[in-house]
Amino acid sequence: MTKVLIIEDEFYAAQKLIRQLQNIDPEIEILDTLDSVDESIDWLKQHKADLIFLDIHLGDDQSFKIFEKVKIKTPIIFTTAYDQYAIKAFKLNSIDYLLKPVNKKELQQALEKFHEQNLPAQTFDYNALLTSIQSGENTSYQKRFMVYYGDKVKSIPNEEVAYFFAEGKYAYLVANDGKEYIVDYTLEKLDNLLDPEQFFRINRQFIISIDAIKEMVAYTKGRLKIELNPNAKKDAIVSIERASEFKKWLNK
């Protein structure tokens, strides 16, 4: 039986993760769900888990602050709505991560990786991870995209990109003038290429520029509906799992 601790400040995301875990393995025991750095530090000083699911951005601070107060010897699977630096650092340090909203198949693969490795806790170097993330501030992001239209080729700078959306097997770039172009990237790949100060992935179908937001309207279950400029073909709704991160992004 795997004893799991979930540290996640978004209620719906935490509840969804619990349901997914119990569906994958009914014998998983959820020890607790915590939503802040301070609460997590207190808990970890007194208890132990076999595996921790840790959200990067908590309500009171970045979750990495926990490492400064507690020496953690428990393997961690990080979750993130967007965090380019962290994703690269996780790959370098062989620590798994999940992009929110968490996909059940990816979650199952992460659990399988955890069980297959069966590594001693001290194998995970969280100090190296933190150093990698902090050094990521110098990361260079893609500044322009080459697109094809007919038999012509065009280069579109980021400043002229309103948003990206996925439809079927393709991803599209929508420029400020409303023209659409197919791009040779998935949204997952774009999420790693774009400057997170300028772009945000609101759900699995849209990555939007902050300059493309025309209006925001309260939607069901704490979500937001975004009116984009130029108009989108389908509704651009911030998913429940990303609503909290989206609000933090707007406040930067």
Using one digit for the tens of pLDDT, what is the confidence trace for 77-120? 888 765 555 565 565 554 678 877 788 998 999 898 888 776 55
User: Does one domain contain both 124 and 207?
Assistant: no
- Predicted pLDDT at 225: 95
3-state helix, strand, coil in the chain (%, to 5): 40, 30, 30
- Predicted pLDDT at 9: 86
* 152 vs 161 pLDDT, higher one: 161
Indicate if the alpha-carbon torsion angle 83, 88, 89, 95 is positive or negative. positive
The structural domain count of the chain equals 2
Question: In this structure, what CATH number is given to the domain that contains residue 181?
Answer: 2.40.50.40
User: Does one domain contain both 100 and 180?
Assistant: no
User: Does one domain contain both 237 and 134?
Assistant: no
Plot region of 150 (φ>0 → left; ψ -120 to 50 → alpha; else → beta) = left
User: Does one domain contain both 120 and 12?
Assistant: yes
User: Does one domain contain both 127 and 170?
Assistant: no
User: Does one domain contain both 216 and 239?
Assistant: yes
Of 125-134, 146-155, 164-173, least confident by mean pLDDT is 125-134
User: Does one domain contain both 212 and 171?
Assistant: yes
User: Does one domain contain both 17 and 93?
Assistant: yes
DSSP state of 139: P
User: Does one domain contain both 12 and 101?
Assistant: yes
Interatomic CA distance for residues 9 and 53, integer angstroms: 12
Q: Please check whether residue 192 is in contact with residue 87, taking contact to mean a CB–CB distance below 8 angstroms.
A: yes
- Predicted pLDDT at 119: 56
User: Does one domain contain both 130 and 168?
Assistant: no
User: Does one domain contain both 150 and 134?
Assistant: no
Domain that holds residue 200: 144-251
Choose among 81, 6, 15, 75: nearest CA to 36.
Answer: 6
From 119, 138, 157, give the residue that closes a domain.
138
- Predicted pLDDT at 64: 81
From 138, 154, 184, give the residue that closes a domain.
138
Interatomic CA distance for residues 40 and 168, integer angstroms: 41
User: Does one domain contain both 167 and 48?
Assistant: no
Q: Please check whether residue 196 is in contact with residue 252, taking contact to mean a CB–CB distance below 8 angstroms.
A: no
Question: In this structure, what CATH number is given to the domain that contains residue 54?
Answer: 3.40.50.2300
From 86, 109, 138, give the residue that closes a domain.
138
- Mean pLDDT for the stretch of residues 128-138: 60
